Amino acid sequence: MSLDANTSMPHRSFADMILRRGPLEAVATTIIAVGVVMLMQPFFLALYSWSFATTLFGTVMFTIVSKVRE
């Protein structure tokens, strides 16, 4: 983080605001929920086929993100 010229508060870049645990955990949880919905729907075989991979990706993402700084 760099210091802003006008204040003594550190300037937060866009990446610092996005790459935090809260928003990334929300994205991972949403991906897991989408995977479960894909697993339970009875209409499209393609969605059912990709449901396990989607849920697994969300779970791995959540596990990695839980190690990121606050």
What integer pLDDT is reported at residue 19 of this predicted model?
75
Beta bridge pairs of residue 3: 10
What integer pLDDT is reported at residue 5 of this predicted model?
60
What integer pLDDT is reported at residue 2 of this predicted model?
58
| DSSP-assigned states of every residue in 5-66 | SSSSSEEPPHHHHHSSHHHHHHHHHHHHHHHHHHHH-SS-HHHHHHHHHHHHHHHHHHHHHT
- Report how far residue 37's alpha carbon sits from residue 44's, in angstroms, rounded to the nearest whole number: 12
Which of the four pLDDT bands, split at 50, 70 and 90, describes residue 60? very high
- Report how far residue 5's alpha carbon sits from residue 41's, in angstroms, rounded to the nearest whole number: 54
pTM, entire model? 0.75
What integer pLDDT is reported at residue 3 of this predicted model?
56
The whole-number average pLDDT for the span 32-57 is: 96
